[in-house]
Structure formats: C-alpha cells, structure tokens
Chains A and B, each alone.
Chain A
C-alpha cells in the first residue's frame, strides 16, 4: 500500500528535495505540499495522509502550538497521521520538544535520505514509539499530567504489566503479542485503553508518563 505523505516546509528548495526523495520510492508519494504553515492548518485537514512532515520552525507560530493545532484539526476530521518534525540540524532538545508536544518523531537534513525514508515508513505504523533516549529527554519538556489522569493510567497499567513492559521496551504490537503468546489485537486494545485513560494523543506521550512514574 502506498504511503501518503504531506510536506509543510517554507523553504521551497528543501521541500522540492524532500519530495523528490519521497516520490522516487515505490511505496510512497507526496499528496500534499504547503509552504505557509498557517495556511496548512486549514488545508491539511481536507487531505488524507499517513505521515505529515512539518518544518521545525513554522513561521508565525510556536512548534508545540502548531503540532497541537494540527492534531485538533485531524481529530475533528477523523484522521490521525503521524507528524514528523523536520529540521536542518540534529538537535536533541528539538526532538524531545517535538515528541513531548505530540509529534511522532523528528528528522534532520544532517541524516541521510535513507534514515528519512526509514522514519517515514516506521512512523506510519500505529505502534511506532520514539527511542528511549528521546523519550527520557522529552520528559523535561512535557507537562506533568494531572494526578487523576496519572492514577487512572497507572491503575490501567497494573492490569497489563507485561504489555506495558514490552511497550516501554519499544516492541511493536506484533512483537509484543508474539512474546506474550497473545493476539495482536489484545495488545493494541490494552494500549488503547491506557491512551484513553490518560487522555493522551500519542503513544509517545503515554510512554513519557509511564517512564516518569517509574523513576
């Protein structure tokens, strides 16, 4: 199945380069391009894509607010694409901030195109989790969920301790199911229940909350 990729990047040449890399692949294509991040907020919801690559410095708006705004638009339209933040230079803090704000992961121009394509493919899967180091770093940027939410998540986590453990190790749902000899659907449902209990939008945010409690 072809992955549908959206690009929001104010630098036309960078965007063109990214598009050329994506379109050269058989399993993905660019379905949406926009240079104005603010205009993209209203337009993006009209499209259906699996992964949205956005600029790390959107003009006129802060990154966390921008990601939040995009997620709200997608939620109201019923889609849930992965959001990848793209920057020029590798930056641990930027990656952590992006993940804490609700992005799936971050890429940079310093990494090769192979890494970029790999992250696009992996993040399109529902059970993608950022690296443990990134999640730990992201803890500094994420707001503490309120006590009730956290308690609800912890309570829910107690019912599926092994699933939670596999989840925090970064195993995919399929790998976790195989390890525990249960159906993949059960793993997905367990994690979805945790997401719902804590009202988290992404698995990264859930992982950050769970990591924060297990100090």
Chain B
C-alpha cells in the first residue's frame, strides 16, 4: 500500500480516502445516524491531506476523534481513524511524526472522555445501561488505553513498513541490488586480473630496458680498452632493444584489445533493438534516418552507438514512462547529425494535469534561459570527449515545456572514415 501511494501520488491517497469515507458514511447511513456523517467527512479530509499537508491532518485527527463518539460503530470508526495516524507516520517528516504522537494522545483522551466517560460506551455494551462513576472511569481508562495502543501500533507499523521499503526494499529490490553488486564485483575482478597481467608484462619490459641500458653503458666503457668490443656491445644492445620492443608491443596489444573485446562491436544497426527495448520499458521510442548513409569504421560506429545509448539512458533516468524518444540520423554529403529528442517535461506536465495538480506554464523567461544556458554533467562531458575523437560536437538544449534535445554533429566524418 505504501509503495502504491508512493508511486501514484494524489491518486492513491484520493482512492484510499474515498474508500474509507464511503465505508464510514455507509455504516452511518445504514444506521440512519446522520450525525455520524460529520465523522466521515472529517475522516476523508484528514486522510486526503495526510501525505502532502500533514500538519492539517495532524490538526484534524483530534477533531475526528471527538466525532467518533457520534458514530454508530465507534470501534470501526477508530480503526478508520488510525489510518490517518499511519499515513502521517509514514510520510511525515520528523517534526510531523512527533506531533502526530501528541495529536494521537489528544485524540485518545478525547475519545476516552466523550465515548468512555460521557458516553459510557463499554458499560453500555456490557450491561446496556450506564451506571456508576466507577464504571464510567473504567470505561474511560479502557477506551483511552485501547485507543492509545491502537494508534501506537499503527504508527509503529507504518514507520517500520516505510523503513523496510526505503532501506531494505522488497525481495525484488534486493535481488536487483545483488545482481548489480555481483556484476560490479565481476567487473572489478576482471579489471584486477587485467592489471595483474599488465603489471607482469611491464615487469618484463623493465628488465629488457635495463638490459639495453646496462650493455650500452658497458660498451661505452669497453670500447676505450678494446674497440672490437664496441661492435659486440652494440649487437647485444640491439638484441635487447628488440626484445624490449616485443614486450612493449605485447603490453600495448593486450591493453588495447581488452578494451575492444569488452564493448564488443556495437553498430548503428543495433540501435533498432535498443528502440524495441525502450518501447517494452514503456517509452515511445522511434528511430528514423534521412539522407544517404556512408560507411563508417568500427570506432565511429561504436562512438555513435554509445552517444545514442547514453543519451537514452539519461532520458530513462529523468523522463516519466510514456514519454516520446525520437532518434534521428541525418546523413549529409560528408557528415552526420544525430538528434535525440524527448518530451519528458511535456509528458510529466500532462500527467500532473490529469491528476488535478497545478502545473506552472513556462513563460518568456524560460524561453530565454533555454537559449543561453548550457548543460554540463559527467555523462555529457563523457559524450563530448567521445565525439571529439572524430571531430564531433555535442550540444544539449532544453525545450521549455517539452523536454530535452541532444545533438551530435560530425562534420567531415566520411573523409575521416576513409583516412582512419
């Protein structure tokens, strides 16, 4: 329930409030107890504001508790009312949670007085008539303690459930975390192994270079005493230098090949599958091409793929489900432009309006800001570095009220592809 309320915002709160309100009102109407409808009204009001206006909810709690005495089945009404305490303890901040405890105590006192002492509720349940002072007091105490226990239980339960959700997570969350941490551990282990191999290769390289230095220096000294030894020393130096070059080449090949093998051979044509994956996630992803494409080398294909991939990952992070993501390839005579556009802001606003929330329209200021402001960030910086390899340029802009657009321009890419 708590996760449902988390994800659905006003909708879930409204549904819960109305459900309980209708239940409560229904009971009162069945019993023809029109006074009890005031409680139902107070209950709905307290519930509906419990998430976003917790202070109002805290204030309404004692009022609703006072009105419990007028309901047909006070026990049921108290249970409904405890939902208010539960929701405030889940969604309220620390101060609000403290105040709801005070409010709950006050509510319990009011309930115990008006229902227990004045109303003699328990006594009337048992023997049907309110009799002595002692029984009133007993009634007051029992109802007061019972109400306090009920509120205390639901508040504790609510907080515990929230903490479990936020910090422990569901089994699915834990499974995702486990997979993610296992993947990271594997990656670290792989990198460590790679480092070890690189270290071994570099040690061999150090030895070879040391040999070159030593024999060259030795030859320099020996040649003074015996000119013939110079030739021998040079031969050995050359041999050692070649061995050093071989080791260096091995190290270089190992380091570069391991990078390439990791990210495999992603091509622009693989983007079609990416679009399908995003559609399955819930985004309206589309891919289109204009102009006549020209062949790119492996590195360029990978570069373009990574730019699109990272941009879409960014959209997934910030835009709500249902947003449109369009990826356009514009092939011109010698270059390429890739546009990744989303309407995350527009979709988000639309959803808010549908739920009855107020959405602030964008104005001239936002338009002006969009023209001059530049976006930064680790992802964007990485994309810019990637594009620079092939003389490309990345620009990210915000379209006010709509979303974001990322443009990657590669002028002269065809000529570069021919040379590299």
Contacts and interface: CB of A to CB of B under 8 A. Distances in A.
A109 B219 CA distance: 15
Contacts of A61: none
A15 B207 CA distance: 12
Contacts of B224: 24
A91 to B, nearest CB: 12
A30 to B, nearest CB: 11
Interface in B190-222: 206-207, 210-222
A16 B206 contact: no
Contact of B218 (A11, A12, A21): A21
Name the residue among B207, B210, B225, B240 with the largest chain A CB count within 10 angstroms.
B210
Given A11-B210, A13-B211, A14-B210, A21 B240 contact: no
A20 B229 contact: yes
B217 A21 contact: yes
A81 B218 CA distance: 23
Contact of A88 (B207, B215, B221, B229): B207
Contacts of A12: 211
A13 B236 contact: yes
Interface in A91-123: 109, 112-113
B27 interface: no
A200 to B, nearest CB: 33
A17 B225 contact: no
Nearest to B209: A88
Contacts of B220: 113
Name the residue among B211, B229, B233 with the largest chain A CB count within 10 angstroms.
B211
A17 B214 CA distance: 5
Contacts of B229: 20
A42 interface: no
A20 B221 contact: yes
Contacts of B213: 17, 109
Interface residues of A, number: 19
A16 B210 CA distance: 12
B207 A17 contact: no
A31 interface: no
B384 to A, nearest CB: 38
A131 interface: no
Interface in A1-48: 11-21, 23-25
Contact of A109 (B214, B236, B239, B240): B214
B206 A17 contact: no
Contacts of A20: 215, 218-219, 221-222, 229, 233
Given A20-B229, A20-B233, A14 B211 contact: yes
Interface string B29-59: 0000000000000000000000000000000
Nearest to A112: B217
B375 to A, nearest CB: 46
A18 B229 CA distance: 14
Interface string B218-254: 1111101100010001001001100000000000000
A24 B206 CA distance: 26
Given A88-B206, A88-B207, A16 B214 contact: yes
Contacts of B216: 17
Contacts of A17: 211, 213-219, 233
Nearest to B216: A17
Given A13-B239, A113-B217, 4 more contacts: A13-B215, A14-B215, A16-B218, A21-B218
The 6 closest A-B pairs by CB, nearest first: A17-B214, A20-B218, A13-B211, A17-B218, A24-B221, A17-B215
7 contacts: A16-B214, A17-B213, A17-B214, A17-B217, A20-B222, A88-B207, A112-B217
Interface of B: 206-207, 210-222, 224-225, 229, 233, 236, 239-240
